[in-house]
């Protein structure tokens, strides 16, 4: 009986503590620009949010999934009951076709990670005949060397199209060379032989289920012109997609049984002499029921900071360690800060941010 009363008291205390934390709520988490003209330039939308908690709300970081999307946000603490905003600007220049981008918000709220989305379709600007196909790959002319697939949910696939033409005075042949391991990419050329003045299109389908990666990932295709099989930058196409899981389809039971990632957001590694190394372990706990999957660790500077998970599958109620190592070789004295993104199958916060700080001494 005493144990039951103690459990109830502790549970109530936990609820009270959570109620006192900041709570971030958005009036909407998705904005559709519809059809926009590439020639009109940048477009913006504002996501308004409210702090429905009991403590001031602070947004520590707002990060877009690619450089074409720029967020600006309320930097001052948002008091309980007050509102703030995030302005998201998209640059359509050189990006014709459909787009879908995400913006990840990190804060001190009860749910530390929130995601908002923008989408739309860019209508390409009218071009002069001379600059319609501005990229040259040998005798072949193309509109661009990049294909942006945006967000692709597991269980679905997306196709993007690239136009090309023969602007020479003789016949040419075209083919595609890809990595044999990239079975999730299906490229299809409308014409493999082009006479002078003829144009064609390359359709590339990206199957998210066949792709074994998560988060933002890139692949390359290479154009074979007149039988010239070379894997160099001159003949390279870059394909980029953001592979995500659609948690919005989960039932209430799936959510109750789901994995829950618990991770500190800030790590101070301490001081290190120039040329020395630092290593520290950070606990990643699964506070949920089903196994927690560490799907990807995004680290923009692996030469300076290395982060690895001792286990990538963590059972409910269990923990694993994230091992953080810093090499101060070639670093000048001073304070260094880096941000590491941890992608998991936590349906509430699939993107966790780990901020790492250390000081290099002389």
How many residues make up the chain in this entry? 362
- Mean pLDDT for back-to-back runs of 10 residues, the chain (362 residues): 47 50 92 92 94 92 88 92 94 87 92 91 73 86 91 93 93 93 94 93 95 92 92 92 91 94 88 89 95 92 89 96 90 89 92 89 86
pLDDT computed for residue 141 by the predictor: 94
- Copy the structure tokens of residue 114: 């929130």
pLDDT computed for residue 218 by the predictor: 93
Which helix (H) or strand (E) segment is 3 a member of? helix 2-20
pLDDT computed for residue 128 by the predictor: 57
pLDDT computed for residue 301 by the predictor: 81
d(C-alpha 33, C-alpha 22), whole Å: 30
**22: exposed, middle or buried (Cβ count in 10 Å: 0-12, 13-18, 19+):** buried
Compute how many other C-beta atoms are within 10 angstroms of the C-beta atom of residue 219: 21
Taking only the tens place, the pLDDT of each residue in 202-257 is: 999 999 999 989 999 999 999 999 998 888 899 999 999 999 999 988 999 999 99
Q: 38: alpha, beta or left, given left = phi > 0 and alpha = psi -120 to 50?
A: alpha
pLDDT computed for residue 10 by the predictor: 44
- φ, ψ of residue 17 in degrees (nearest 5): -60, -45
């Amino acid at each position: 009986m005493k144990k039951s009363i103690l459990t109830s008291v502790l549970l109530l205390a936990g609820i009270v503590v959570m109620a006192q934390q900041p709570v971030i709520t958005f009036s909407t988490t998705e904005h559709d620009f519809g059809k926009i003209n590439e020639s009109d330039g940048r477009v913006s939308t504002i996501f308004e949010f409210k702090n429905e908690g009991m403590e001031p709300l602070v947004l520590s970081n707002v990060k877009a999934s690619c450089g074409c999307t720029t967020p600006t946000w309320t930097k001052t603490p948002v008091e309980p009951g007050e509102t703030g905003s995030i302005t998201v600007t998209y640059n359509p220049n050189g990006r014709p076709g459909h787009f879908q981008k995400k913006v990840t918000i990190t804060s001190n709220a009860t749910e530390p990670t929130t995601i908002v989305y923008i989408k739309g379709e860019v209508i390409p600007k009218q071009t002069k005949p001379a600059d319609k196909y501005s990229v040259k790959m040998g005798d072949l002319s193309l509109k661009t060397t990049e294909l942006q697939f945006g967000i692709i949910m597991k269980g679905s696939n997306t196709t993007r199209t690239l136009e090309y033409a023969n602007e020479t005075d003789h016949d040419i042949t075209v083919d595609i060379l890809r990595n044999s391991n990239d079975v999730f990419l299906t490229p299809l050329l409308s014409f493999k032989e082009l006479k002078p003045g003829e144009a064609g299109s390359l359709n590339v389908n990206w199957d998210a289920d066949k792709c074994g990666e998560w988060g933002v990932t890139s692949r390359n295709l290479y154009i074979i012109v007149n039988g010239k099989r070379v894997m160099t930058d001159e003949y390279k196409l870059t394909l980029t997609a953001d592979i995500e899981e659609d948690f919005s389809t989960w039932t209430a039971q799936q959510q109750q049984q789901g994995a829950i990632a618990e991770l500190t957001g800030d790590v101070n590694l301490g001081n290190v002499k120039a040329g020395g190394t630092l290593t520290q372990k950070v606990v990643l706990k699964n506070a949920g029921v089903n196994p927690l999957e560490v799907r990807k660790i995004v680290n923009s500077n692996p030469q300076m900071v290395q982060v690895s998970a001792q286990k990538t599958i963590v059972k409910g109620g269990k923990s694993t360690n994230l091992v953080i190592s810093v090499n101060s070789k070639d670093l000048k004295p001073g304070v260094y800060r880096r941000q590491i993104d941890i992608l998991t199958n936590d349906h509430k916060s699939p993107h966790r941010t780990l901020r790492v700080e250390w000081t290099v001494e002389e």
